[in-house]
């Protein structure tokens, strides 16, 4: 119910905009879920894609899973979002390392990784 009907009219300018878009959907998940928001050059949402679902406190994904969709659709910008079922939105060391790896790969492919937001219970933080 809280998901917008037409994503193509949503412009994301701040971390709060990103959190507001996905918070209600992700904050109560029992397992970690990684989503990717695909944006055009004007930061207007083109699509939201589920990348991976993990266990209660772990999430395993491959960078190829992330980059395949923006490459296929020729998307210039992405934002990653994942939740912490514990409710604590502080990014782990692993979250930060994975973000750096994804950022490096994105740069090679000409895709901007704008942010990686970690959703907790009513709170969010950046892993970048």
Q: Each residue of 19-31: pLDDT tens digit?
A: 999 999 998 999 9
Sign of CA dihedral 51, 52, 53, 55: negative
Residue 102 confidence (pLDDT): 96
* DSSP of 17-55: HHHHHHHHHHTT-SS-EEEEEEE-TT-BEEEEEEEEE--
Q: How far is CA 9 from the centre of its chain?
A: 18
Query: Is residue 2 scored above 80 in pLDDT?
Result: no
pLDDT digits (tens, 9 = 90+) for 70-118: 999 999 999 999 999 999 999 999 999 999 999 999 999 999 999 999 9
pLDDT average, residue stretch 11-39? 95
Chain centroid to CA 55: 17
- Identify the pLDDT of residue 7: 56
Spatial separation of the C-alpha atoms in residues 3 and 25, rounded to whole Å? 8
* Domains along the sequence of the chain with CATH: 7-126 (3.40.140.10)
């Amino acid at each position: 119910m809280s998901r917008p009907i037409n994503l193509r009219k949503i412009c994301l300018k701040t971390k709060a905009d990103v959190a507001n878009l996905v918070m209600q959907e992700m904050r109560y998940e029992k397992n970690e879920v990684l989503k990717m928001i695909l944006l055009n050059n004007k930061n207007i949402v083109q699509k939201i894609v589920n990348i991976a679902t993990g266990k209660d406190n772990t999430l395993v994904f491959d960078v190829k899973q992330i980059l395949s969709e923006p490459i296929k659709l020729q998307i210039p910008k992405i934002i990653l979002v994942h939740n912490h079922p514990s409710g604590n939105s502080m990014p782990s060391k692993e979250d930060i390392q994975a973000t750096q790896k994804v950022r490096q790969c994105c740069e090679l492919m000409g895709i901007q990784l704008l942010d990686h937001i970690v959703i907790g219970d009513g709170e969010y933080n950046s892993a970048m």
